[in-house]
A and B are shown apart, each in its own frame.
Chain A
Amino acid sequence: MSDKFALIIEDEEDLATIFSEALKAAGFETEIIYDGAVAERRLREVCPAIVVLDLNLPHVDGNQLLHQIRTDPRLDNTRVLVATADAGMADMLSDEADLILLKPISFVQLRTMAERMGLTMS
């Protein structure tokens, strides 16, 4: 997989598009997954540099996916950006996630962060 591959796991289509566009603008190749169960399978196949993860997902929730990423040695270098509207939840996950983004997430904000990450990764 490419060094510049980002996986976006978000069930809201519009928000997923915005995240995807922001990451594309930062120079990433992107793939969008709308369903937790699909994401669970896909994460066994690919090795993304960045995962933008929504916590409220159908079938398998974001917490579970975060745990899966963190226990898979193959994904050691994957940066996880958790997107949530819940500040309390954000605080709880601050150890496991690389970055917590409090919704609403601005396009510019995400693009800037992804650019910064892309630089430190290479």
Chain B
Amino acid sequence: MGLISRFINVPSADPDDARRRKLLSFLLSILGGLLILTLIYILYVDMTGAEDPEPIKSLFFASTAVLGGIVLLFIINRYGPGWLASLLFVLLLTFAIVFTSEPRLLLGEYMFYLTIPIVMASMLVRPWASYVIASLNTLFLALAARQTQVVLPLPGVLGFYLLALVSWLTTQTMERALHDLRDLNIQLERRVQERTIALASANQELIMANERLEELDKLKSRFLSIVSHELRTPLSAIQGFAEMLQNEVYGALSPKQHNALNRIIANDERLLNLVNDLLDQARIEAGQLSLVNAPFPLQGLISDMESTMRVLVEAKKLYLRIHVADAVPTTLYGDQKRLQQILVNLVNNALKFTQQGGVDIHFYRPDEAHWAIDVVDTGPGIPKEAQGFIFDPFRQIDSSSTREHKGFGLGLAIVKQLTTLMGGTVTVISEVGQGSTFTVILPLIAPQREK
């Protein structure tokens, strides 16, 4: 198949030209093939010894000559101008029909054959070439009529021109349609190309925007971490010197001075916690926070939290009750410091918003593989629409509450990120006026399974 199409196809920049050349190649190939078969047949008859060799001999020479002509046309068609090959072919066909038939037959039953070059001229040379061949045929008919002294058969001539018109219209229409199709194709291709370019540039812009965002995010994390470090040192110094004063390293203090110092220390601690939260947030966002897991006593977790919260609980006259279910192991495995942070953040948050009543903390086992902490408060509750984002960093339900409760909105975000890091979940159930329940569920890891 590939070989045949390569034999017939003629490469050309003009698609119309290529189509015509291909058609001519095809016709010439078929004619050539038929002629070769004829020659083989002639040679066979000759060899078997015909009675009269003369007509066979002339037929042999004629066929060979025509075959040579076809080969020549084929070569011109392939390497020379296509229109010349086509024109020669159509003319030779016409001459062959005219000069091989008697004038009488040409005006009669052979007239039909003359229609073939008319149709072919349209398809092979140019659409309008059918008129040229029709005129040529008319000329030959006129000559034949003159020779045989008969009247030129007008219906035949009309037939030629009619056929020329039809084939002109047909090929013209076909070429137009092909042309339109090619135009459409080119347009489509161009449009696809334009869209592809537009998409590629949009994509590039997105990639660049994304890179900028990533860079900004990194910058933010680095900025946070630097600022936090820079803040921590003076805050630590304030705390240290205040403690020294409090411990009367620099001499005795009056009760009023002690009171003022306690306020300094409490406020400094609050600032330090805030900075620690910021630092943790930055570390978590930068993916730098890793857990340090070890066995630890549950009681240690509880008593540390209680001592941290005592001042706040007493100051606000609230209750803080601990409930531990029997199923919870006394020794747990995990990162105690980070669990402490989760618990303190949740309890601190609960106490912060609660004005009356207090906070209940439940430790229990929701199933075999997990342990859980419920922090239940009697605070104002969280509106439904806010529950979706209370775990997002740097957000608080409304800005007015920031002033009232001195919150910063990082505590819950850190709880969420730490529990996620530990393979656990944190959820909230709350209704306005009914208080809130925060639940942290963590996988229970048996200490003996680790080192």
Contact = CB atoms under 8 A, between A and B. Distances in A.
Nearest to B242: A107
Contacts of B307: none
B337 A106 contact: no
11 contacts: A14-B237, A17-B240, A18-B236, A18-B241, A18-B243, A103-B236, A104-B232, A104-B235, A104-B239, A105-B236, A107-B249
A25 interface: yes
Interface residues of A, number: 18
A106 B233 contact: no
B233 A12 contact: yes
Nearest to B268: A104
Contact of A21 (B233, B239, B244): B244
A14 B290 CA distance: 30
Interface of B: 229, 232-237, 239-241, 243-244, 247, 249, 272, 288-290, 292, 337
Interface of A: 12, 14-15, 17-18, 21, 25, 85, 87-88, 91, 103-108, 111
B417 to A, nearest CB: 15
Would you list the 8 A-B pairs with minimal beta carbon distance, nearest first? A18-B240, A14-B237, A104-B236, A107-B243, A91-B292, A107-B240, A107-B244, A12-B233
B229 A14 contact: no
B237 A18 contact: yes
A21 B249 contact: yes
B288 A25 contact: no
Nearest to A108: B243
Contact of B229 (A18, A85, A87, A107): A85
Nearest to B292: A91
Residue with the highest number of chain A CB atoms closer than 10 Å, among B240, B247, B249: B240
B235 A107 contact: no
Contact of B232 (A17, A25, A85, A88): A85
Contacts of B232: 85, 103-104
B85 to A, nearest CB: 85
Given A15-B236, A18-B240, A103-B232, A108 B247 contact: yes
A92 to B, nearest CB: 10
A93 B53 CA distance: 116
A115 to B, nearest CB: 13
A89 to B, nearest CB: 11
Contacts of B233: 12, 14-15
A25 B292 contact: no
A14 B239 CA distance: 11
Contacts of A17: 240-241
Query: Which of B233, B288, B290: most chain A CB closer than 10 A?
Result: B233
A90 to B, nearest CB: 8
Nearest to A19: B240
Contacts of B292: 87-88, 91
A15 B229 CA distance: 14
B59 to A, nearest CB: 104
Nearest to A105: B236
A91 B241 CA distance: 28
Contact of A25 (B229, B234, B247, B272): B247
Nearest to A90: B292
B171 to A, nearest CB: 83
Nearest to B272: A104
A91 to B, nearest CB: 5
A104 B234 CA distance: 10
Contacts of A25: 247, 249
B247 A106 contact: no
B65 to A, nearest CB: 99
Contacts of A106: 239-240, 243
A67 B29 CA distance: 93
A12 B241 CA distance: 14
Given A106-B243, A107-B244, A88 B290 contact: yes
A59 to B, nearest CB: 19
Contacts of A15: 233, 236-237, 240
A18 B237 CA distance: 7
A107 B241 CA distance: 8
A88 B287 CA distance: 12
A98 B237 CA distance: 24
Nearest to B228: A85
B243 A88 contact: no
A14 B238 CA distance: 9
Contacts of B229: 85
Contacts of A87: 292, 337
A12 B230 CA distance: 11
A15 B241 CA distance: 9
A106 to B, nearest CB: 6
B298 to A, nearest CB: 21
Nearest to B237: A14
Nearest to A83: B236
A12 B238 CA distance: 13
